[in-house]
Structure 1
Amino acid sequence: MKVLLIGSGGREHALAWRLSASSLLTKLYAAPGNPGIAHMAELVALDVEDHAVISRFCLDHAIDLVVVGPEAPLVAGLANYLRAAGIRVFGPSKAAAQLEGSKGFTKDLCARYKIPTGAYGRFSALEPARAYVREQGAPIVIKADGLAAGKGVTVAMTLEEALEALEACFDGSFGSAGAEVVVEEFLTGEEASFFCLCDGKTALPFGTAQDHKRVGDGDTGPNTGGMGAYSPAPVMTPEMIERTMREIVEPTMRGMAEMGHPFQGVLFVGLMIGEDGPKLIEYNTRFGDPECQVLMMRLKDDLLVLLNAAVDGQLSHMSTRWRNETALTVVMAAKGYPAAPEKGSIIRGVDLLAGEAGAGEAEADEEIKIFHAGTALRDGQLIANGGRVLNVTAMGANAALAQARAYEAVSRIDWPEGFYRRDIGWRAVEREQQ
């Protein structure tokens, strides 16, 4: 099979790594890709916002499957355009991608199908939103309705912080994403991420993870796209997975089908696990980043076989197999992230000439993978070209060993202009010590 992978981040590098190992694969293209992905795919300089250009490339190169990594092309309707041209694509339609593209849409779906989630209000003007926040009090959660690259959410612990977040949304800090705002109840408990592959009718459980959104150690500072993650999530016991499927995923799949928007692709379920069970925080309609990296490390099955089954409506016949060990990834970010990351600094210790993506001084152990998230090449040298730059990922018999292995690899990367959290996986490690 010839496959085109859309995207350029750490998630896409991890997907490319797994796809490249498939017995079905004959050729892998990536648009636009990154220096790490270049070792396992042919990079093509396509404008992923131009659906006609993507479609034409697929037809000219006899592409058998398009795998869309990021959320923005899905919300913009890329899957619809490709399907209309007769091109097979793994990813939801524009209407189905509203589960991520509009937080208000998802909250309304939850209300309609009795899916457990926090109480909420939807607002398109500042003053009514202010009144609602003052009435509810803090802590409270303020969310830009649309896509904001993981930065449109404020967990406000004070009334002042909540009002400032509302003003930021309506003042245009998040562009059109903040034209409407969802104000949500603050949920207590432990957060977890649960994934399903979906074919429109069947949702196949596809692993659990926990990530670290705050930029600083001890879960301090502003929210980011994610500073690290690990899998599996200890809080997601078999019982909790069963409840999540029954109370959240299955009614969502049924509801989307009834609305005429059957969901095909990855359903990423952001959960709060409290005393009364799982509640939905939000949906994403693609693999998480950096959760995808740890899931791909643990997956034992052929990823391309599974994605094909999802596209062909055959997931009811499939199952998945996972390594029992823990996978953990540490995000190395450029100084200034998430506000204004500094680009262009040279990264040493990750040897791109070693024949395998990410191989080099920091990756002597086969249980370690370095996924490129925001890198570029300049005069043959690897440089930082984004906010989140590298995902240093390791396997271990338990969370403590995976954590130690990942940070040992991080220590061998020479990049003074980068930074990282030093406590990724702390919750799982504490559990193991109890």
Structure 2
Amino acid sequence: MERAAIIGVGWYGLKPATPEVSFREMMFEAASRAYADAGVDPRRDVDAFLSAQEDFWEGIAIADEFAPEPIGGVLRPTVTVAGDGLQALANAVMLVKTGYFDIVAVEAHAKPSDIATLSEIYELALDPLHHRPVGPANPLFMMAFDAQAYMLRTGADRSHLALVAAENRTRGLANPRASLAGRVTIDDVLESEPVMDPLTSYDIAGFVDAAVVVVVARESIAVKLTDKPVFIDGIGYATETGTGTLEWHSWGRMPSMRMAATIAYGQAGIGDPLSATDFAEVEDRASVYQLIALEELGLAPEGEAHKLYERGEYELDGAYPVNPSGGSLAMGVALEATGLVRLLEAVLQLRGEAGGNQLKGVERAIVASWRGPPTTTSMVAVLSGPEAGF
């Protein structure tokens, strides 16, 4: 089977609100840019289309009926995936590897600024018998429980969470796509009142409207269309047992990310991810999750991620840069598009197009996303840039 490669990317939005466009128009804008980047005509060259979306986020029943037209898939094979954009990308990779599809387009979008009842939608993911009737003031309270559990297990404290929040938000100032970036210090975070103890507003990523489209091709086609293909060496996804229930959740951990990483690393032939890759774009919708993700991905020893942060290991000039883009804390949570946003940033890095936060000599990357509480599905991909030589 030929390798699958990313030959084009496009995006639109990544702002708290985009009143100038509907979600369909946002999809069209991102798709137009991706096809131009790949140098393909969707009506002539693309064999299948995948869109990651959920009816609940759209406020429209059978929202997938609106998927084909904005991305060029009218009267063409178009499939929707009820999950994160990286899950749709995994499906695209499988299609390409069958040998029946030369080029596949993957789309994911979010328009939370249009959602009047965001908290209520999150509550629907809670257990309907024991937890949903309680009517939690904030259905994302699990973030705080995870933070407390991680701190108790590892000996980390609020200052370590504040370090992640301050670094990511400040780092995003060099990224034109990071609309939530700001010059934030550790003291700013520590002196702020917790929203969900121990997490402050600085520790929790805000929501943004966004659309991202990725064009994937099999290797023999990709090398003809571009001199900067980014290969998908491995990709996996998994869901933690007991989704939506508090009793079965592994507090302060992300077992689904460890499972997804095992799948992706196995496909990519990776034993030690730290030595086999150069940087990572990982989950950080709350500061604590970046620490947890690093351990689950094998990028830090068990319970040691916060100590490595203290030593500067994950800074831009550190031994292993993490979230050079500023992550979701600087760029925002784009619901089902969040994984493709992390992927977009990794692709730009590997192509040498990341601007102010461009790393030197990077050839291979890890991308990891998580759908967040109360659901616990994780996605992990391993990418190789055009200079990797794999």
TM-score by length of 2: 0.28
Greater fraction of residues in helix: 2
Larger Rg: 1
TM-score by length of 1: 0.26
Greater fraction of residues in strand: 1
Which fold has the larger relative contact order, with Cα–Cα distance below 8 Å and residues 6 or more apart in sequence?
A: 2
